[in-house]
Amino acid sequence: MIKVGIVGATGYAGVELIRLLLGHPNVVIRRLTSRAEAGVRVDRLFPNLRGYIDLVFEDSTRAQFDDCDVVFFATPHAVAMHSVPELMAQGIKVIDLSADFRLSDISIWESWYGVKHAAAKLIDSAVYGLPEVNREAIATASLVACPGCYPTAVQLGFLPLLEAGLIDPESLVASCASGTSGAGRSAKVNLLLSESVETMKSYGVGGHRHLPEMEQGLIRMAGTNVSLTFVPHLAPMVRGIHATLFATLTETAVDLQAVFKARFCNEPFIRLTEGNYEPETRHVRGTNMCEIDVTHPPGDRVVVTVAIDNLVKGAAGQAIQAMNIMLGVDEAAGLSAPAVGP
């Protein structure tokens, strides 16, 4: 069995990790930490887990993970970087759901996050955990940096077109909407039900922390510089990312459906709608699935629509997918349940 620990297990991504790992046939959870909830039983804080787990949250400053094979960090940025070096020195594999190891350029990371990086020497060894792009590197990694939710949707949507050189890399536009859980579990006035329901708004239009991560990945796909306009929105829903992507085709006489089928035919968590219906967040709720459609309207523009669950394919599920690859078990283990409906 794979022995697992989770640091920051009381946030939305953390408790989603617990829920999914409890259904994993090859995993046993050993340690769960939380500074604020140390000493509290997991099923007391999260009643939906009653009957499934009897662990108590430990203080993250005192917990020892020497009985773990893998430790997940579901923490805010600038937390994991202080603990990861010690864990890796013990031979423990680390999967970080925060942004601490996503960017290869330390100066860019420090400018966006406003602090000095505490583990800069590990950046070069960190593998970006987008399985559809980095599966082979993930398989031999000791440190995986999981992509953000918006970057997952945007990169997967543009991936076949950029790799095939079918779009102008200077013409990329991503208009994306996220559910309120993407903002975390902390109490915030703008996320109160009466503040967030029956309304929709954009935010971070002048600059969002996920932008450099997306640009980094898209540049690697295109093999050249890209220009991306990214506009995120807060949608009146709890879960989900819906991304509408636009680009200018460099070749219009091409079968785009065939291009996407060829690129994703062996991907267990990519579902192409093939123009039969539009991707919706409810189609993927609670799953690790990424639903994609590509459309060529009249003219030289292409539109790609993408739907994922921000807490699963955009966080916990993708982290487990990476763990499965790292440990050599079935990539879909623990991630095969269908979407929750209605």
For the segment 278-317, what is each residue's pLDDT rounded down to a tens digit? 999 999 999 999 999 999 999 999 999 999 999 999 999 9
The pLDDT of residue 229 is 97
In terms of C-beta distances under 8 Å and separation of at least 24 residues, what long-range contacts does 323-326 make, across chains too? Answer: 323/2, 323/4, 323/70, 323/72, 323/93, 323/95, 325/131, 325/135, 325/138, 325/139, 326/70, 326/93, 326/95, 326/138, 326/139, 326/141, 326/144
**Domain residues of the chain, as ranges?**
2-146+315-327, 149-308
- The CA distance from 31 to 4, in Å, is 7
Tell me if residue 149 is catalytic: yes
CA distances from 63 to 7, 31, 36 (A): 9, 8, 14
Catalytic residue (choose from 68, 146, 149, 290): 149
Which CATH number is 2-146+315-327 given?
3.40.50.720
Q: What is the value of pTM for the model shown?
A: 0.96
The pLDDT of residue 139 is 98
pLDDT profile of the chain (342 residues), mean per 10:
96 96 98 93 96 95 93 96 97 98 97 96 97 98 98 98 98 97 84 88 93 98 98 96 98 96 98 97 98 96 98 98 98 96 84
Which CATH number is 149-308 given?
3.30.360.10
